[in-house]
Amino acid sequence: MSHLIFAANWKMNHGPAAAADFLSTFLAHYPRQYDRKMIFFPSAVALAAAAREVKHRPDIEVGAQNVHWEDKGAFTGELSASMAREAGASFALVGHSERRHLFGESDEDTARKCVAAQRAGLTPLLCVGEKLEERERGEAEAVISRQLRAGLAQIQQGGGLLLAYEPVWAIGTGKNATPEDAAAMHGHIRAELRAILGDRGSGAPILYGGSVSVGNVRALLQARDVDGVLVGGASLQPGTWSAIARSALPERESAPLP
Ligand code: PGA
């Protein structure tokens, strides 16, 4: 059985002290799990503190919210993948919609960041998602295909990879994709992965993100090809996050017979 993945994107919340407080409270009430994995994405300055807190927990890891594609140099304000690794990260978010749309990150940037992450021994979690107007124009699948083909252009086969489908209109809006829409897009992503990376890449876990809550997480995890969730707002309080992460394992929809 493959593990479900619960990923918490804390964005620009929780400094080192708050991150350590959160984790000590959370871990005291969240015993080791054997059927699911958890990844916290704290702020860069809280990475080391978070990594220390979860060190004794093989089911929990931490990741960087963003990395630069160069390993070092004159890039004021940036964080390299190898520095994130040294601070205790095992993963790196790449191409989150806030990076793309607030900070002008291009598809080519995401490709370089995926490679840099892998080179440093981090598993990239590449985020893709369409805007509302793109969905309304019927272009959602084409946008996702473009983001995937560009972002994965230089990826190493077998180097470790996670994907997240995060429709931009669902992030922080309280309006999640329906399980049916998520399943349809995850199926499309799975097919694209097979086309781009071949059989080895097609099994990469695909998370859903965008207004995941205690109320909707189980239905979303039940949808076909949804292998986990990437959660922003609802991951910020230990109680809410624990309720999400303890969701009863759903009966997964089985794939249709060919
Ligand atoms: P949200 O954010 O859960 O607050 O919608 C998700 C994300 O941005 O990863």
CA-proximal residue: ligand 1, atom 3 (nearest) = 232
- The whole-number pLDDT of residue 234 equals 97
Distance CA 214, CA 15 (A): 25
Q: Percent of the chain beyond pLDDT 90?
A: 89
- What is the rounded radius of gyration, in angstroms, for the C-alpha atoms of the chain? 17
Distance CA 117, CA 136 (A): 34
What is the whole-number distance in angstroms between the Cα of residue 46 and the centre of ligand 1?
A: 19
State the closest ligand 1 atom to the C-alpha of 98, by its place in the atom list counted from 1.
8
What is the whole-number distance in angstroms between the Cα of residue 25 and the centre of ligand 1?
A: 22
Enumerate residues lining ligand 1, CB below 6 A: 9, 166, 171-172, 209-212, 230-234
- The whole-number pLDDT of residue 200 equals 76
Is residue 136 part of the annotated active site? The answer reads no
Question: Mean per-residue pLDDT for 33-53?
Answer: 97
State the closest ligand 1 atom to the C-alpha of 233, by its place in the atom list counted from 1.
4
- The whole-number pLDDT of residue 249 equals 65
- The whole-number pLDDT of residue 247 equals 86
Give yes or no for residue 203 having a pLDDT over 50.
Answer: yes
Question: Mean per-residue pLDDT for 33-42?
Answer: 95
Confidence of residue 252 (pLDDT cuts 50, 70, 90): low
- The whole-number pLDDT of residue 2 equals 73
- The whole-number pLDDT of residue 50 equals 98
pLDDT tens digits along 87-126: 999 999 999 999 999 999 999 999 999 999 999 999 999 9
Distance CA 106, CA 25 (A): 38
Is residue 96 part of the annotated active site? The answer reads yes
pLDDT tens digits along 149-192: 999 998 877 679 999 999 999 999 999 999 999 999 999 999 99
Confidence of residue 202 (pLDDT cuts 50, 70, 90): confident
- The whole-number pLDDT of residue 70 equals 98
The structure tokens 């986990």 sit at 228
Could you count the other beta carbons within 10 Å of the beta carbon of residue 55?
A: 11
Distance CA 114, CA 81 (A): 10
